[in-house]
Structure 1
């Protein structure tokens, strides 16, 4: 049977197949699914292509494969969309709903502050389907391409244009509204004002002026609300613009009836409310303008990062120095950086000495010395000498580009705390409209005279006072500013939800080597047993360790190089993870490593007990060598504790956290270091493979755990922890297993990250409290709940002002995080 043009095609990734018979089993299983007409399974690519005459849910196909004994999942990828036109949380809900309904969309996360959507899709979804779905929901969208550091940031440019447009519309509305306000509301300030107007201009002329000015306000400055609000109403998906549309048009229409067709209204209800319609528009435009300006400041950290890379570079070609656009620089080119200039590329210093300011990358204030062989990072500032750098990365491959991607990724993500907000805001606007209708009916039927006028005024106030904008901005703006401030301090949150989880940590566990210590051990002592020769032992040890990547091995090799010792060829080298190394050198079988390796060989170490005790008490690490199965020597290695470690741990104690050290070192060495640093608990002699299990036990005992490691050998532990914190070196930041990356080796960054997490979540809670309490308190007031007892009614104008200011308050509160500085008292 040949598939027709109307057949549906789906793909599945299949794992577990090993041979042609596996392929056959998978194909037979899939063909049994009702509607499937053809299946093609490729063993090499581990993919199945399924053609069907009807649309089949992917889960049905996955279940069929699972029953056949294999694993299957739908091929997927990620896409980022730039959404234009969202103004409040209900807009976010509508866009999410529209995208979720596209067949093949697995997950959607939309951030109102960044105006971006992150989607996980099956591979058969095309970008056009997503854009079409967003357009049907009443918004515009385009796919975000890969970040280009030298491209103009479109979001910032668009926000600046929005702010300018809002400012222009506000000024127009203000000029047109002032006469209306003065003519109608002047009497509330000057009791004789209305009599003076009636005897000079005349009531009819006054109303005509108000009508003309208000009509112009609604036709021009207010048009932005109607262009979005009316279509949203017609789609039965009202948003904030819809509330403004209903409120202003209700006041305006009632006033027109009262002015031109007064006989349709009872005598005591023939009032005009042009000032309410005009003032609502003017005040909301003012609030939106403040909001747009504040939104622009929330992404200031990203803009700062994007602005770090210079637009040009000086390249050296044929003994000439040429100034070229940064886009023309390629890997391998030599770049000249003079004093005071920004380094335009990532590269290695091949000539010159200088000090480089890397504070914008690592948060460290002190300049870093650079010499031949050192790494230079794009965006940092050369201070003194002239450097020649050979380019190793440009454009989107630079460290700076990686940082920008990580910060943007964190800013776009959605925190778990946001789920409650999403549930509320989906129903918020329809509920507000229902409450406004109920308010109108109750006042019309049971209110005092003029009942109809009071019913209209209070219903409009309810429509205008409600502000889902503040709810929608409460979380994402705090995340944007918090993660941006973190980037300025050298703290990168790879995922936004790490912000929420980190502040819940009860215990912080540290790896020792390279995290608490410098990770640059040095050989301090070599004790050799007879009949072995010290020089020969050092030659054998260094020859083996030159093939090892462990820091201790590096220490042995460096010591031999200082002694100018020639190394030998090594055969049958094996790294014994967690134990040491073994190899054949000069015809001898050599074992070199921890005490556990010697014990595994059945060798007694009692001859070194006293010296081992002394080394351990000094926080030094003893390693042992056996030659042809005979104990030969003990090497003592010292790894200096980082200068910032003690104060960092003191800071974490001030935050109320318990500190644990996890290390493979001998327990006496570990206890000595723990005593120096005031560490609460030590888990020593742990093999790398056991770290993850150790972390799980600590989690069961203490609760939420953050693990801090160097990100090289600690991947399983970083992944097992509730929050993995990788201590970077300024160049290696894309550590897959970590949730948070510290750009410098300064461990005070751990405390800063936790303190920033606490500050950001507190900020979010303050915003949400304001947004929810504001609406819970003021909607009843706008509906007239205080009138029976106190005779208080809320004017629609005050409602508009309060509504506009609520969003400004939330944004202003979030922007306070830009001034975040961790408070640490040394004592």
Structure 2
């Protein structure tokens, strides 16, 4: 039976790379629906759930110059991918520095007076940039060429190779050109092309790592381990090992690892990542809790009803991933163009040379070669296939970070036509930080300072989320007073004794239980 699986891919740099991986994966027996999400460097396929099938897929992807991470755990996949991408990023930095060092040295030689050994010195300076800094382009182009696949790496490798070896041939065999024409060296071009493209790829790589931040932040909401009650004992277990029906103990300040029902305890739980409401919700026996929400000051025992990808948080992550993997109409057009862009550029370069040979006269061969090189060089830095998916993934990811779930890329593209936004409740517009904006006192003015200090002293000891707002408003009243017999009532209020008198602070219902009369209006 086939399953839909996602595997991180390491080494992709452009739409041509993604196309090569898709083609290689599609040719594997038993693989269907191969699709690469370039911005997140993910390969999604429908494949048999067996180590043998996955190993064949990995070898196919490696055959075109990339690597596939096939660890079972998604957390392990992301960890290994991050480590490999960090290594690749360091390599790209070193190569970029080397290429730019060669380029700057070559530019310096251009402004100094010419001397006999200058062409040989230019060749030696350009050699490390072409051979070492550009090795990733050359190796990738060769691997992909074996499979009949073209990418931007093909253009970079082809243009720099022609530029470098054309200059070598001119240097050693044709120091004097045809009559009326001076032969030029293009060692500087081979080094600068690699330097500029590497710098662009380095910037794209950093941007690409940031585009997956929304998914990683959502995944961090789920703890890696949970305290499970089994056989009357508390055991720390990985969240991936939990099953429906497990009793999970959630301590103060911890994230809830499962969707479930509270069987014991009471507390306030911050659910803003689910509901968008800024204030925590009070939970007691029988209340539902959700994975990724944050427990307050109480201890809860939760019976799991849904775990892993079946939780509300898991479905949110899946929705964001599906949205990022979907293609908007403009992206599908860009992918079609990118898929045929490299062959067209190569064909145009060949056509340019042929036309020059047929129509350019005695020295047409050399002129045609230079013009063909120019066509290849100009086309190298094209980021056509990366710009659109990166913009979509960044937009969907930023929306997810701000609590907005975009179901697919087409919906995001249609946002440009929106002129009216309708919100279902005023709470959606809050900043999520309660503040005291107005107070009303029903006591004589001379008693107010003492009562304000009492209220401030009590709210400092309260665990209710509104207490912080009260403390912030009354913080300037001075020092606190000593209270006794302080008792917190979750979700209701706090009671305390001061100088023999009992005081209750909290909701209207809680205060009314003590026999106090609360005015209905002010």
TM-score (norm 1): 0.45
Residue 181 (structure 1) aligned to one of 90, 104, 107:
107
1:679-701 per-position Cα deviation (integer Å, ceiling 9, x unaligned): xxxxxxxxxxxxxxxxxxxxxxx
Indicate conservation of the 8 Å contact 2:20/2:150, yes or no.
no
Residue 123 (structure 2) aligned to one of 211, 214, 226:
211
1:14-53 per-position Cα deviation (integer Å, ceiling 9, x unaligned): xxxxxxxxxxxxxxxxxxxxxxxxxxxxxxxxxxxxxxxx
Question: Quick one: structure 1 residues 297 and 394, their matched pair in 2 at CA, closer, same or farther if it must change by over 3 Å?
Answer: same
Cα distance in 2 between the residues matched to 1:353 and 1:406? 31
Match of 1:158 in 2: 84
Residue 110 (structure 1) aligned to one of 33, 36, 46:
36
Cα distance in 1 between the residues matched to 2:104 and 2:394? 37
Equivalent residues in 2 for 1:719-758, closer than 5 Å: none
Cα distance in 2 between the residues matched to 1:395 and 1:122? 22
Question: Quick one: structure 1 residues 235 and 431, their matched pair in 2 at CA, closer, same or farther if it must change by over 3 Å?
Answer: same
Cα distance in 2 between the residues matched to 1:143 and 1:215? 34
Match of 1:299 in 2: 212
1:312-347 per-position Cα deviation (integer Å, ceiling 9, x unaligned): 434557887665554565554444434333223333
Question: Quick one: structure 1 residues 93 and 335, their matched pair in 2 at CA, closer, same or farther if it must change by over 3 Å?
Answer: closer
How far is 1:436 from its partner?
Answer: 2.3
Match of 1:682 in 2: none
Match of 2:311 in 1: 398
How far is 1:358 from its partner?
Answer: 2.2
State whether structure 2 residue 166 is matched by structure 1 residue 254. yes
Question: Quick one: structure 1 residues 235 and 479, their matched pair in 2 at CA, closer, same or farther if it must change by over 3 Å?
Answer: same
Cα distance in 2 between the residues matched to 1:455 and 1:142? 42
Residue 255 (structure 2) aligned to one of 342, 357, 364:
342
Indicate conservation of the 8 Å contact 2:71/2:77, yes or no.
no
Indicate conservation of the 8 Å contact 1:363/1:488, yes or no.
no
How far is 1:500 from its partner?
Answer: 4.9
Question: Quick one: structure 1 residues 404 and 224, their matched pair in 2 at CA, closer, same or farther if it must change by over 3 Å?
Answer: same
Question: Quick one: structure 1 residues 447 and 287, their matched pair in 2 at CA, closer, same or farther if it must change by over 3 Å?
Answer: farther
1:132-184 per-position Cα deviation (integer Å, ceiling 9, x unaligned): 65455x24464856664576444443333322221111122223333222112
Indicate conservation of the 8 Å contact 1:363/1:489, yes or no.
no
Question: Quick one: structure 1 residues 394 and 462, their matched pair in 2 at CA, closer, same or farther if it must change by over 3 Å?
Answer: same
Match of 2:133 in 1: 221
TM-score (norm 2): 0.69
Cα distance in 1 between the residues matched to 2:242 and 2:25? 40
Question: Quick one: structure 1 residues 132 and 388, their matched pair in 2 at CA, closer, same or farther if it must change by over 3 Å?
Answer: closer
State whether structure 2 residue 157 is matched by structure 1 residue 245. yes
Match of 1:381 in 2: 294
Indicate conservation of the 8 Å contact 1:421/1:472, yes or no.
yes
SS at match of 2:133: coil
Cα distance in 2 between the residues matched to 1:333 and 1:76? 29
State whether structure 2 residue 385 is matched by structure 1 residue 472. yes
Cα distance in 2 between the residues matched to 1:78 and 1:135? 21
SS at match of 2:226: strand
State whether structure 2 residue 267 is matched by structure 1 residue 354. yes
How far is 1:457 from its partner?
Answer: 4.8
How far is 1:251 from its partner?
Answer: 1.3
How far is 1:443 from its partner?
Answer: 6.0
Equivalent residues in 2 for 1:57-136, closer than 5 Å: 78-100=4-26, 107-120=33-46, 126-127=53-54, 130-131=57-58, 134=61
User: Where do 5+ consecutive residues of structure 2 fail to align?
Assistant: 430-522
Equivalent residues in 2 for 1:573-652, closer than 5 Å: 643-644=425-426
Equivalent residues in 2 for 1:390-539, closer than 5 Å: 390-440=303-353, 455-466=368-379, 470-500=383-413
Question: Quick one: structure 1 residues 363 and 258, their matched pair in 2 at CA, closer, same or farther if it must change by over 3 Å?
Answer: farther
Cα distance in 1 between the residues matched to 2:314 and 2:175? 69
Cα distance in 1 between the residues matched to 2:239 and 2:15? 40
Indicate conservation of the 8 Å contact 1:160/1:296, yes or no.
no
SS at match of 1:417: helix
Q: CA RMSD in A?
A: 4.1
SS at match of 1:203: coil
Count of residue correspondences:
428
Q: Which moved more, 1:237-246 or 1:110-119?
A: 110-119
1:495-535 per-position Cα deviation (integer Å, ceiling 9, x unaligned): 54454578779999x9xxxxx9xxxxxxxxxxxxxxxxxxx
How far is 1:429 from its partner?
Answer: 0.9
Cα distance in 2 between the residues matched to 1:645 and 1:486? 18
Indicate conservation of the 8 Å contact 2:276/2:403, yes or no.
yes
Question: Quick one: structure 1 residues 157 and 480, their matched pair in 2 at CA, closer, same or farther if it must change by over 3 Å?
Answer: farther
